[in-house]
Amino acid sequence: MSRKEVSMIGNLTRDMMRDVMETSLKKPIQTGEFRKNPVEPAWRCPNDYIYELIPTGKFVMEYLKPKQAVTGRVILQLHGGGYIGPMKNIYRRFAVKYSELGFGADVLTPDYRVAPEHPFPAALEDAVYAYKWLLNEKKYDPEQIVVAGDSAGGGLALALCLYAKDHALPLPAGIITMSPWTDVTLSGASYEENYTIDPLFGNSKENMLYQCSYIGDDDPKNPYLSPLFGNFEGFPPMLMQVGSYEVLLDDTREAAKKARAEGVKVRCSVYDGMFHVFQMGLDLIPESREAWEEVGEYLRIVYRIHRDQEGKIVKKVKTRRKDTEERAKLNLLAFLKRELK
């Protein structure tokens, strides 16, 4: 799916990014110097949420839960940052957004270890730890877990699921990626085709993509580093979003193409005129707003949330197993009959 019309605000935002990248800020932004040590005000958790820091000994996980809801649903968010940047406030806002769109889902965001101090496989090990924590410590049903990530976190989300499949761990119910970095070999045609138009990573190879310290001494074609070279057979349904102006465009398109060929249900949405992780615009940019609406619809489908004509949730089916689907249908029919009397 491709969104053909670019909004005025979307164009303006992209052009402003390009203008900024033509200043002295270009190099520290592209190399990740700014990203490594973000200076931000303290984040204020919304009043209707509980926010916990979970120390693990090697890294910290941030656990966000609605105060008034226990749904059994959870989203494991893996943040971006080129494998060199830590957690930021924008991802805490993402967590709130995911919770709202997930109908009161909890959200776990590990502030995983990053390079150069902690090269591969440190980030993957931490993502696996977080996933196992949800399964074993908090007892979430894997069919109620969705793994989501942007940029490097999107690649990490796919790598986590490859690891889970290879090591006989249950796979989650779904995967969401935003501008995922799926190929650290940078083999996609879009690295050249979009080189002059990408407002963030274009017009220079002195950036965190071409100088990836996370790879270390490993083979960049290792599927746990570059999920594009892995086997997606058996994966849950995936929603993949990307901007058409990104050098990473083919990291999404090729991964989606490969996954479909291996039998995975994939919705691949290319937003025309958009830049890397444009979803950071939240409700300020029409394209970002539309992308988040698409995330909400995806979560509704994956979590099997049914609404009545007035928009109220009338049934939450907690499993996709065939032996319970018929029972769920009968329960829903009985509920509707009672309500319509």
The structure tokens listed for 127 are 């993502």
pLDDT of 11 reads 84
CATH 3.40.50.1820 residue spans of the chain = 2-303
CATH annotation of 2-303: 3.40.50.1820
pLDDT of 38 reads 73
pLDDT digits (tens, 9 = 90+) for 72-82: 999 999 999 99
pLDDT digits (tens, 9 = 90+) for 299-320: 999 999 876 555 555 444 333 3
The structure tokens listed for 242 are 């990307």
pLDDT of 31 reads 61
Q: Which residues pair with 146 in a beta bridge?
A: 75, 174
**What is the C-alpha separation between 81 and 260, in angstroms, rounded?**
27
**What is the C-alpha separation between 280 and 287, in angstroms, rounded?**
10
Q: Tell me the CA distances in angstroms from 203 to 84, 114, 198, 270, one per residue in order.
A: 21, 26, 8, 22
The residue among 113, 124, 14 whose CA lies nearest residue 56 is: 113
pLDDT digits (tens, 9 = 90+) for 93-104: 999 999 999 999
pLDDT of 30 reads 63
Active site residue ranges: 151, 246, 276
Give the pTM: 0.87
pLDDT of 34 reads 56
**What is the C-alpha separation between 14 and 184, in angstroms, rounded?**
25
What is the secondary structure of 148-216 as a DSSP string?
A: EEETHHHHHHHHHHHHHHHTTPPP-SEEEEES----TT--STHHHHTTTT-TTT-S-S-STTTS-TTST
What is the secondary structure of 215-277 as a DSSP string?
A: STTS-TT-TTT-GGGS--TTPPPEEEEEETT-TTHHHHHHHHHHHHHTT--EEEEEETT--TT
pLDDT of 337 reads 44
pLDDT of 172 reads 98
What residue ranges of the chain have pLDDT lower than 70?
1-4, 20-21, 24-36, 307-341
